Amino acid sequence: MEQSVNKVELMGRVGADPRIGQSDEGRRVMNFNLATGEVVRTSSGTLKEETTWHRIVAWEGKDIAQFEKVKKGTRLLITGKIRTNVYEKDGQPRYIQEVLAQTLREVASS
């Protein structure tokens, strides 16, 4: 069997205050969107910033313990893995890609 890697590293800002919930077992989970951006040159030669939004899921644990510190605008460095969830709407399958955070660190603004 071939070895493969599913690893993501993102640094960006939280778009809105996270939603915090709890599993049936009492474990807390946080969901939020993270914005990352890059500057690209358009065909006319002007520079333009492009923003990409990422869905983040973070379960409380050793490397993700300070849920209350994460607020809208917080700059974070996140490592994790991509997962795809499938659900059905109007009889059609829908797919959501999200990052399952494994570490989450606040980064000082530059």
pLDDT in tens, 96-105: 999 999 999 9
Give me the numbers of helices (H) and strands (E) for the chain, helices first please: 0, 6
What confidence tens digit (pLDDT) does each residue in 8-19 have? 999 999 999 999
CATH of 8-106, one of 1.20.120.80, 3.30.1330.10, 1.25.40.340, 2.40.50.140: 2.40.50.140
Per-residue pLDDT, 64: 81
Q: Say which residue the tokens 């996140």 belong to.
A: 78
Query: 36 falls in which pLDDT band (50, 70, 90)?
Result: very high
Task: Please give the model's pTM, rounded to 2 decimal places.
Answer: 0.85
What confidence tens digit (pLDDT) does each residue in 44-79 have? 999 999 999 999 999 998 778 778 889 999 999 999
Per-residue pLDDT, 57: 95
Per-residue pLDDT, 22: 93
Check the CA dihedral 73-51-95-8 and report its sign: negative
Where do the structural domains in the chain lie, given as residue ranges? Answer: 8-106
Cβ atoms of 55 and 31 closer than 8 Å: yes
pLDDT of residue 110 exceeding 70: no
Question: Distances from the Cα of 34 to the Cαs of 19, 53, 73, 90, in angstroms?
Answer: 13, 6, 9, 28
CA 7, distance to chain mean position in Å, is 13
Q: What is the mean pLDDT of residues 30-35?
A: 96
Joined tokens for residue 101: 């955070």
In this structure, the dihedral spanned by the alpha carbons of residues 29, 30, 31 and 33, taken in order and rounded to 10 degrees, is -150
